[in-house]
């Protein structure tokens, strides 16, 4: 299931190194930018997408950034959030255009425009950081791929899931964030939602974006608290508070949908996340 996210501020995870987007991730994902491990988008793969859309996977930009100056953090976060939105929009278009066009339709109508948008957004990130020292080579992260198998992860995000990767439909994982200390993985909320009424779409999108932000924030905390506390530190100081935040956010999503149609139930079971070493 895919969702279009508007531009929302995200607090980016500055340094993530483990398996995750991204994902947040895809992160990512998810009402989501469908995500997958990078796969070739050649004729055979695209032929399969005419029957089954598959998933879009993009390289993880957040993981490739240098330390972000405080003065550039807000702008970088906005554009990292926009990368997620762009993938989610492309994922939605992938779903709604099944069966359209010829063998090159996905490349020409979806992946190509997505690359152009990502190139511009990534450039803005580099320029924002570059007011001190501009990072180079980020434009190589603009190209996304299609995985027609329907499994994998993507995010603003992760191609081969890494730091802030948004994991979307197919894996059951919404976002994974982390690095050396491990990877935090959370259930994919967007994939479990029913059809969202148009009147609730914006609010649902905002809260889906917030779920990604929350995971990215704890991924950063996981990195910066390595070695602290006892054996239960991660559960008590990171996973527990994350569950509480996700519970509230998921409840807002259910309430928004329930204003005009049947309120979805059982979503609170998606609040708990896990740590994988």
Q: Three-class SS string for 76-124?
A: HHHHHHHHHHHHHHHHHHHHHCCCCCCCCHHHHHHHHHHHHHHHHHHHH
Q: Which two three-digit tokens encode residue 144?
A: 């996304």
**pLDDT on residue 137:** 84
E strand or H helix that includes residue 176: strand 173-179
Number of neighbours of residue 229 by Cβ within 10 angstroms: 12
| Contacts for 64 with CB less than 8 Å, ≥ 6 apart | 135, 137, 138, 141
- Map residue 277 onto helix, strand or coil: coil
Residues 157, 165 contacting (CB under 8 angstroms): yes
pLDDT score of 53: 66
Distances (CA, A) of 212 to 37, 84, 207: 19, 9, 9
Please tell me the distance from the alpha carbon of residue 213 to that of residue 148, in angstroms, as a whole number: 28
Residue that the structure tokens 């976060």 belong to: 77
Give the residue ranges of the chain where pLDDT is below 50.
1-52, 149-179
Helix (H, G, I), strand (E, B) or coil at 166: strand
Distance of alpha carbon 11 from alpha carbon 215, whole angstroms: 10
Supply the pLDDT for residue 276: 81
Phi and psi angles of residue 84, each rounded to the nearest 5 degrees, phi first: -65, -45
| CA dihedral for 71, 76, 79, 85, sign (positive or negative) | negative
Residue 17 half-sphere exposure toward CB, CA atoms < 13 A: 7
**Sole residue written with tokens 């796969």:** 39
Convert the pLDDT of each residue in 230-268 to its tens digit.
778 888 888 999 999 999 999 999 999 999 999 999 999
**62: phi then psi, degrees, rounded to nearest 5:** -55, -40
Model pLDDT, residue 113: 92
What contacts 70, CB < 8 A, 6 or more positions away? Answer: none
CB count within 10 Å of CB 241 equals 14
Q: Which residues of 138-166 are buried (b: 16+ CB within 10 A; e: fewer)?
A: beebbbbbbbbebbbbbbbbbbebbbbbb
């Amino acid at each position: 299931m895919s969702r279009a996210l508007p531009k929302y501020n995200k607090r980016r995870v500055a340094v993530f190194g483990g398996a995750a987007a991204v994902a947040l991730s895809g992160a990512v994902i998810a009402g989501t930018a469908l995500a997958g491990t990078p796969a070739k988008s050649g004729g055979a793969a695209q032929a399969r997408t005419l029957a089954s859309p598959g998933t879009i996977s993009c390289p993880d930009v957040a993981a490739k950034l240098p330390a972000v100056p405080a003065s550039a953090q807000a702008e970088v976060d906005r554009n990292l959030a926009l990368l997620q939105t762009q993938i989610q929009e492309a994922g939605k278009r992938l779903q709604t255009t099944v069966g359209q066009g010829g063998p090159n339709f996905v490349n020409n109508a979806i992946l190509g425009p997505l690359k152009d948008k990502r190139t511009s957004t990534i450039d803005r990130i580099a320029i924002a950081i570059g007011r001190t020292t501009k990072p180079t080579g980020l434009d190589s992260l603009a190209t996304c791929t299609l995985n027609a198998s329907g499994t994998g992860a993507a995010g603003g995000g992760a191609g081969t899931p890494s730091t802030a990767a948004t994991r979307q439909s197919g894996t059951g994982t919404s976002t994974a964030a982390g690095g050396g200390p491990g990877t935090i993985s959370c259930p994919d909320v967007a994939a479990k939602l029913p059809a969202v009424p148009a009147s609730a779409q914006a609010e649902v999108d905002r809260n889906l974006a917030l779920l990604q932000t929350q995971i990215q924030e704890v991924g950063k905390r996981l990195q910066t608290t390595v070695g602290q506390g006892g054996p239960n530190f991660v559960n008590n100081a990171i996973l527990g508070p994350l569950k509480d935040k996700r519970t509230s956010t998921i409840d807002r999503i259910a309430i928004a949908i329930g204003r005009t149609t049947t309120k979805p139930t059982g979503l609170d079971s998606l609040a708990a996340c896990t740590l994988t070493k």
